[in-house]
Amino acid sequence: MASQREQQLMRRALELAANGPARGVNPRVGCVIVSPDGTIIGEGWHRGAGTPHAEVAALSQTAPDAARGATAIVTLEPCNHTGRTGPCVDALLDAGIARVVYASTDPGGDSSGGGTRLRESGVDVEGGVLESEVDAFLGTWMTTARLARPHVTVKWASSLDGRTAAADGTSQWITGAESRADAHLLRSQHDAIAVGTGTVLTDDPSLTARDSAGALLAEQPVPVVFGTRAIPGGARLRQHPLPLIQVDGRDLAADLRLLRERGIRSLFIEGGPTLVSAFVRAGLVDSYVVYLAPALLGGDRVALTDIGVASIDEARRLTITDITLTGDDARLTLSPKGR
C-alpha cells in the first residue's frame, strides 16, 4: 500500500502535470523520481506531442545510475508502446527503477499494459493511488480515450425555478454580464460548441467566444450543428472563423464518433432543451454547467423536456463538483453520479 509520503508525492506529480498543454492530443502527465532514502532526485512532465514523456523527462534530471533502486511516482500508468517516442516502461527498466507508483490506468488499446510488464520484469508496482483525483484532472482526455468520443458538457442558464425564458419567449438576459463572460471563456476552452438547427433558425447564434468588449478570443471552438434542416446562407454561423460541421442528429453516439474522427475531443453543448434533453436521455453527458439567476419566471419554458424519467426513483442524480458565484448568479458544475 502506498505510504503517506508517496501520496504526497503523487500530488506533487499532479502539480507538475498541470504544466503541460491543456488541449493537446496527449494526456498531461507528471512524474517524480525518489531515491531509496526519500530524496527527490528528478521531476518532469509531458510538454506536448513529440516531446519526452514525463517519466523520461524526470529521469533526465537524475545523475548517472542515481535512479537505480529508486521509486517513480507518476500520474498515469507508464506507456508500453512506441509512438513518436519510445515506451516509458523501457526507460524505467533501463534506469533500474525498483518501484513504480501510478494513479490512473492507461485506457489506450496500444499504450496500456505498462504496469503488467513492469511487474513481470521484477519491478514493485502499485496502481490506483489518488486515482479519482487524477481521473478528474484528466477529464476530457480520459473520456475520449475510454469511450472513443468527445467529452460532452452541456450548459444552460436559467432562473432559480429552471426557466430559460419568460412566458413570451424573451430570454436576454436571464443571467448577468459576469456569467456571460464566464460562459464565453468556457467556450474557448472546448474544441467545439454545438446547438440544434432549431436554435440556429430561431436565434441565429454566432457560436464564437468573445471578451466583454465583443472581441474574439484567441481560442475559438469549432461550430457544430445537430439536425437535418438547411442552415441559411446568411446565418451568422457562416461568418465563424472556423468551418462549420453539421451532423444529422439521428444517432447521437454515431455523431460523436464522427466528431472524434474530425479531431473534436471536447464538445460544449449550448443548444435548446430539445438537443440537451436528447443528450441527457441518451446518457451521453459527462458534465453539466448551469448558471442560476436569483430570479423567478414561472411558465413552461424549461431547461429540459423529456429525459426518460417517469418516477422519482428514475431521477438522474448528479454530483456537484463546484459552486462559484459569477456576479449575482451562481455557476454549478456537476457530473453524473457514479462517474
The letter for the amino acid at 41 is I
Residues for the chain: how many in total?
Answer: 339
Asked whether 104 and 138 are in contact (CB, 8 A), the reply is yes
Q: Is 173 marked as a binding-site residue?
A: yes
Q: Is 29 marked as a binding-site residue?
A: no
Cell of 16: 507538475
Q: Is 240 marked as a binding-site residue?
A: no
**Reduced to 3 states, what is the DSSP secondary structure of residue 229?**
coil
**Reduced to 3 states, what is the DSSP secondary structure of residue 302?**
strand
Asked whether 160 and 292 are in contact (CB, 8 A), the reply is yes
Cell of 113: 499494459
Count Cβ atoms below 10 Å from residue 131 Cβ, excluding itself. 15
CA dist., res. 193 & res. 182, Å (int):
15
Q: Is 199 marked as a binding-site residue?
A: yes
Q: Is 276 marked as a binding-site residue?
A: yes
Q: Is 75 marked as a binding-site residue?
A: no
**Reduced to 3 states, what is the DSSP secondary structure of residue 333?**
strand
Q: Is 334 marked as a binding-site residue?
A: no
Q: Is 257 marked as a binding-site residue?
A: no
Cell of 326: 459569477
Q: Is 130 marked as a binding-site residue?
A: no
Q: Is 273 marked as a binding-site residue?
A: yes
Query: Annotated catalytic residue: which of 55, 126, 219, 314?
Result: 55
CA angle 142, 114, 59 (to 5 degrees): 95
Q: Is 243 marked as a binding-site residue?
A: no
Q: Is 144 marked as a binding-site residue?
A: no
Q: Is 270 marked as a binding-site residue?
A: yes
Cell of 327: 456576479
CA dist., res. 67 & res. 37, Å (int):
12
What stretches of 159-242 show up as alpha helix (H) in DSSP?
A: 177-188, 197-203
Query: Beta strand pairing status for 151-159 and 287-293?
Result: parallel
Q: Is 203 marked as a binding-site residue?
A: yes
| Whether 261 is catalytic | no
Q: Is 103 marked as a binding-site residue?
A: no
Binding positions for Zn(2+):
53, 79, 88
Q: Which residues are catalytic?
A: 55
Binding positions for substrate:
171, 187, 203, 207, 210, 270
Binding positions:
53, 79, 88, 157, 171, 173, 187, 199, 203, 207, 210, 228, 270, 272-278
